[in-house]
Structure 1
């Protein structure tokens, strides 16, 4: 015998699988792209657009290229720039320009070197060979600096006087966006700070806490999220050529940190969370701004992520089973929005980054799987109800009840029905010869025949009353030609009784017969009763008439009223049996006995749902 698995066991197993699958997705980084987009949104929406007032950018823009000449420029131009900025009282000067090779003019290189030698507040960039290895998943222990195999530096005559720094961009390999920065890189030539960190250190900013901060999860030491707080247009930018020409007043640079870099279209650009094409000198400006403002984006730990994922899986699963579908959808949507809102508020006001995407995605998976299980069990239950209660009332009525999500309402409608009453004759003497269980078996056999014929002909079994039955046609669903189907049911029952009668006579010596009465007319049909007990039935004078007709039948006889006769005389053979005065009637009724079947309606129609 097949043993069914219990509903609680299926639900528990299903949710255990959800937890396992969601944590696998979390481990393999399936939600990384969505998490990155959420972080980008938080960064962009929380920008102040007001960078630190000590930062100024000297841009190599289109105007400067037209004025100074085609790029690359003679290095004496940079020497002249240094002199003007130092004279103006610049606190720190950081170049986002590479000086890795000698130029074609040794005298200009020497002039630039001499300018560098006079000051100790100038930073020249280097480039560490880390990106290729890092993108190929080079293993970096958490808490250790990322290590470079090589370092490309300015030529010796420059670097001997300049402060060192790296300008490596930590590009996210999943989408090419710059979200983090390596504040320090371990190289064969020692530890190199980032350009912004080197400038901040020279400017006297306390950067110790940044270097002591714990590493991002599974990331190198000193890697931090960049707090993108401004776009290119937000930073104060002056053209390189105007500085050379003296068009910019000296107080524009006094005690300020000056970044020199490319701002001409199409040069030295990268993708950032706040701009698709940002000149990277402004990336360094954003990092420097972050250091000056003492900001640090602190991501929530792995324990939070695990706890939030587990919580959302359980919460959404619970909401699915406790609430109706519409309320469940609203609750799930509301909880998801609330969690994302909490993420944004915590980021915007405390710089705490809570990655909620994995939790929301896991919760939605939990909801979808649980709603699928719930739908399965509800469908299974409805099918069970249809199957079980279809033994008692019409399956069509059961399906209509199962489809209707609202309570069954009391009330009825006036409608033309054909009503069939049936009574088993000879049952009392037979029951005296049978054991109780044999009586039940006999009745079940009888009613099985009656039920099969009634349902096959679109009838609704209203009730069984002892050894009698009441069957309705044209309710609750519309049944075209319902008088025909009512008489056809009676005719088929009488034909089926021939074998039953013979078997009972041979076994028990008792004669069994069935009397059937049918009437067609308007009745009130619907849910009748109280809020505690509802019965779908028909009431009215025409129902009583059908019952009276049945009481006047003889053994194995089918009698119909004149109304039924007129509607079915083309399909059955009838014999007029005369008029009978029924109880409660002032005039006698004409009755007709069914003696044979002639033909079906020309175009038999299927029952249609009542409108």
Structure 2
């Protein structure tokens, strides 16, 4: 059994490991991994944006007051005058078409030409269709097919940067490209250009990857930034000093416009996504990720822990430790993200931990049940199946001691065994006894008796212990009657084969005894002791061959169900006075069980 368990465990856990590694390498739990990553983002936000960042919103109120978008470009001229003292002015708006009145474009271009701190964005065509958002897979490199700028009058007098959005498969923005490779050469992102113009050292963010992909650390929601409606700025309601030496982003913030889901907001306007990236660059923050090798090591460690928790500890302790380990992994990865901006994907180790634990627990339960059945089956050959089952189902050690209980005791002895044993070889004697006791055991168990012990060529049987047995007196006598009936075939076989007469003498008594576990903590014997037991043994000793003798107490309780012959009083060894005995001649009927509505009980 032990080798079978070990072989099963080795094969089973190797298969679990291979499954976990396959799931990891194919990113099958990427939805859960993203959910964990987004949770870390939401719960570790600082909500303290860089004080130099201001967002001028083209909000619904501005649209109501100034008209439907797009607005005439001369409307941006007073805006530029109000915010001209800013260190960086970044539009999240493109001007790709000419105005009906060319002078409007010229006036706006002239206003831009007076400033050297304005960024008018461009976008690169990354796919075969005209979009500034691109859905990409992890670590996928793309090259822009074309670069789309604002009209020449405007783009020639302003700086430019791309506003391409990198969307994950679920449509959310979690990354950005700080640099894009285009036919016109590399072009920085809007946020990178802003941070660079502000004076931040950001060149170290550029990597060998042409896209310089950056995982965005969202530290702010839309409400955290200083936001000013567009109409308030152009109307002069906001003092120009508000924008002095600061970063000003201008973008859409009206319902239904330019918004995508992010880890911290289901619908974030992209101007605020740019603001978050600028804030990240100014703080010099960067999210790093645990390597695949580290995750694989954690998967192996988790499987090892699940194996140890299952086979070395009790189930309740194992479950608690698996739950604690899960909480430790969850909180540990959160701490790493919160304090060090390090994301460790623990979804796969967690899956390995629970999958390994459940597999090993199922294996352990299966083999323990199998072992319990094996023990019950084996020890059921020594004790009654009911007693073995009661022991197997117990969660505590069997206590020493007993209880007072009324039972019926049957003793039997094989007569003629001595002359038979003289004619048989030792192995033939054992075979004969096994044949005899097999028949006796079948009859005893059929009548719900408990075989207390076999003593050489004798046996002791209890009724109504350890479990309650209705009409135990009747069952004891019926067992004796069935055994004598079964002896007829055994006697004929022995007579024909060995020319020896064998028979059984049986004695039965009913009374109060002490029943329980008698012995020491090293060796326990479940048995009954008391005067009623001794009396039953003495009755058996005076019984003749093929005779069943019962005490008066047993007779009085079973006389309606059997035909008896009174033997009279007999003096038995160990008793100061004679006891009245009765011989069982025949069976009449089974007792009526009240629980069966007056019907005769089937025996």
TM range (shorter): over 0.9
How many residues align? The count is 593
By how many angstroms is 1:138 displaced? 7.5
By how many angstroms is 1:207 displaced? 1.0
By how many angstroms is 1:23 displaced? 0.6
Larger deviation, residues 379-388 vs 131-140: 131-140
Candidates 65, 75, 80, aligned match of 2:78: 80
Residues in 2 aligned to 1:181 and 1:31: alpha-carbon distance in whole angstroms: 23
Candidates 432, 437, 456, aligned match of 2:422: 432
Per the alignment, residue 148 of structure 2 pairs with: 152
Candidates 531, 554, 570, aligned match of 1:541: 531
By how many angstroms is 1:230 displaced? 0.9
Larger deviation, residues 491-500 vs 59-68: 59-68
- Structure 2 counterpart SS, 1:165: coil
Query: CA 1:4/1:325 → structure 2, altered by over 3 Å: closer, same or farther?
Result: closer
Candidates 415, 419, 423, aligned match of 2:409: 419
Unpaired stretches in structure 2, ≥5 consecutive residues: 597-603
Report the TM-score, using the length of structure 2 for normalisation: 0.94
Q: Counterparts of 1:390-539 in structure 2 under 5 Å?
A: 390-539=380-529
Per the alignment, residue 201 of structure 2 pairs with: 206
Per the alignment, residue 279 of structure 1 pairs with: 269
Per the alignment, residue 167 of structure 1 pairs with: 163
Residues in 2 aligned to 1:399 and 1:389: alpha-carbon distance in whole angstroms: 10
Larger deviation, residues 582-591 vs 72-81: 582-591
Per the alignment, residue 600 of structure 2 pairs with: none
By how many angstroms is 1:105 displaced? 4.0
By how many angstroms is 1:509 displaced? 2.1
Residues in 2 aligned to 1:117 and 1:230: alpha-carbon distance in whole angstroms: 33
- Structure 2 counterpart SS, 1:191: strand
By how many angstroms is 1:79 displaced? 2.5
Residues in 1 aligned to 2:509 and 2:155: alpha-carbon distance in whole angstroms: 112
Q: Counterparts of 1:554-573 in structure 2 under 5 Å?
A: 554-573=544-563
The answer to whether the Cα contact below 8 Å between 1:480 and 1:605 also exists between their aligned partners in 2 is no
Q: Deviations over 1:489-544 (max 9, x none)?
A: 11111111111112212222221111111122222212222211111111222222
By how many angstroms is 1:71 displaced? 2.4
The answer to whether the Cα contact below 8 Å between 1:140 and 1:146 also exists between their aligned partners in 2 is no
Per the alignment, residue 244 of structure 1 pairs with: 234
By how many angstroms is 1:136 displaced? 7.6
By how many angstroms is 1:70 displaced? 2.7
The answer to whether the Cα contact below 8 Å between 1:60 and 1:264 also exists between their aligned partners in 2 is yes
- Structure 2 counterpart SS, 1:128: strand
- Structure 1 counterpart SS, 2:391: helix
The answer to whether the Cα contact below 8 Å between 1:74 and 1:105 also exists between their aligned partners in 2 is no
- Structure 2 counterpart SS, 1:304: helix
The answer to whether the Cα contact below 8 Å between 1:527 and 1:536 also exists between their aligned partners in 2 is yes
How much is the aligned-residue C-alpha RMSD, in angstroms?
Answer: 2.2
The answer to whether the Cα contact below 8 Å between 2:126 and 2:144 also exists between their aligned partners in 1 is yes
Residues in 2 aligned to 1:345 and 1:481: alpha-carbon distance in whole angstroms: 70
- Structure 2 counterpart SS, 1:308: helix
Unpaired stretches in structure 1, ≥5 consecutive residues: 607-611
Larger deviation, residues 354-363 vs 322-331: 354-363
The reply to whether residue 320 of structure 1 matches residue 310 of structure 2 is yes
Residues in 2 aligned to 1:43 and 1:135: alpha-carbon distance in whole angstroms: 22
Query: CA 1:104/1:598 → structure 2, altered by over 3 Å: closer, same or farther?
Result: farther
By how many angstroms is 1:569 displaced? 2.2
Residues in 2 aligned to 1:513 and 1:50: alpha-carbon distance in whole angstroms: 100
- Structure 2 counterpart SS, 1:470: strand
Residues in 2 aligned to 1:386 and 1:132: alpha-carbon distance in whole angstroms: 73
- Structure 1 counterpart SS, 2:333: helix
By how many angstroms is 1:310 displaced? 1.1
Residues in 1 aligned to 2:107 and 2:512: alpha-carbon distance in whole angstroms: 114
The reply to whether residue 261 of structure 1 matches residue 251 of structure 2 is yes
